[in-house]
Structure 1
Amino acid sequence: MAQRGRRPKPTALKVLEGNPGKRPLNVNEPKPGKKAPKCPTWLEPEAKKEWRRMTKTLEQIGVLTKVDAAAFAGYCQAYARWKEAEEFLTKHGTIFKTPSGYIQQVPQVSIAQTYLKIMKDFCSEFGLTPASRTRISIGVEGTANTDDPMEDILRMV
């Protein structure tokens, strides 16, 4: 059964965004430790490079935790496969002529598009797109970011 409406956003991301909807935050939401997961051994080499490139930053801003390993691995693997398809297109071009003389698009065009969409979806989850970053406000811990005292108390929980 399909989910209705927008997907719920994690409380940590709502706090970083300044809780723009001003709805009550879920104080009972599970709060996994903010330590990044270990890189899975099964990732492709290019995916492992992307994992190493991004983990520290995401761990520091608090959006990557041990329980996010599968989602982040999905992002990194999609990145590796997207890059592979793009490198093929750069080297060989986007179209070819069939033996019967028709012009046809190489499969790597749709492969690259598919993995780029998958990456975009994961990027939005982790605040890695310019649009998703504009909604994040990282304040100094212990300082108030709003005029609402109750909001400030809820942020510290």
Structure 2
Amino acid sequence: MAHHTRGAKAAPQPVSDPVRKVPAAPKEMSAEAKKEWKRVMPVLVERRVLSGADIAACERYCEATGDIAIARTAIATDGAYVANRLGELKRHPAFATLRESTAEARRWAAELGLTPASRSRVSGEADDDDTAAAMDL
């Protein structure tokens, strides 16, 4: 019986040159994305799974999460249905952003070890305190 790994995510592993201090969020990030950055980056740095090359992946995750919050706010403010130029009620366009950003955030979260399933695959030098901190996510 063959073992197929297509589509399987690599488990985040402690890296040899980990980021040891939480970097400042990029200035161009939305306020919502910065909130997520401040929430998840300390956990990832503590787990020692990020190298300098992984910062862009964290940015993409945080931006997608920020876009989710922005889309939800737009829908809550304007309502689930809005009138188009002909006056017909249509589903709010922010639902498309919400759907796309949710899928993107889920993919990046899995890559970064931010989901329960991806955390269970993490192995390496993390001690019990690191595992407890990660579960607080």
Scaled by the length of structure 2, what TM-score is found? 0.72
CA distance in 2, matches of 1:101, 1:66: 50
Shift of 1:64: 2.5
1:140 aligns with 2:121: no
Structure 1 residues 112-121 or 125-134, which shifts more?
125-134
d(CA) in 2 for partners of 1:135, 1:9: 8
Q: Match of 1:57?
A: 43
Inter-CA distance 134–8: structure 2 relative to 1 (3 Å threshold) = closer
In 2, Cα distance between equivalents of 1:99 and 1:123: 38
1:1-157 equivalences in 2 (<5 Å) = 5-6=6-7, 9=10, 12=13, 31-36=16-21, 38=23, 39-98=25-84, 100=86, 102-136=88-122, 140=127
Aligned partner letter, 1:95: Y
AA of the residue aligned to 1:6: G
CA deviation string 1:50-88 (max 9, x = no partner): 111111111112222322111101111111111000111
Unpaired segments ≥5 residues, structure 2: 129-137
Q: Alpha-carbon deviation of 1:108?
A: 0.3
Query: How many Å apart are 1:100 and its aligned residue?
Result: 4.0
- Give the SS at the match of 1:78: helix
The Cα of 1:46 is off from its aligned counterpart by: 2.0
- Native 8 Å contact 1:37 1:68 kept in 2: no
Aligned residues: 122
Deviation at 1:9, TM superposition (A): 1.7
Using the size of structure 1 for normalisation, the TM-score is: 0.64
| RCO comparison, higher one (Cα < 8 Å, 6+) | 2
CA distance in 2, matches of 1:11, 1:93: 40
RMSD of Structure 2 on Structure 1 (CA):
2.8
1:140 and 1:97 mapped to 2: Cα distance? Answer: 55
Q: Give the letter aligned to residue 32 of structure 1.
A: D
Letter in 1 for 2:7: R
Q: Note if contact 1:123-1:129 (Cα within 8 Å) is conserved in structure 2.
A: yes
Q: Cα distance 1:11–1:56, how it changes in 2: closer, same or farther (>3 A)?
A: closer
- The answer for unaligned runs of 5 or more in structure 1 is 14-29, 142-157
CA distance in 2, matches of 1:117, 1:47: 16
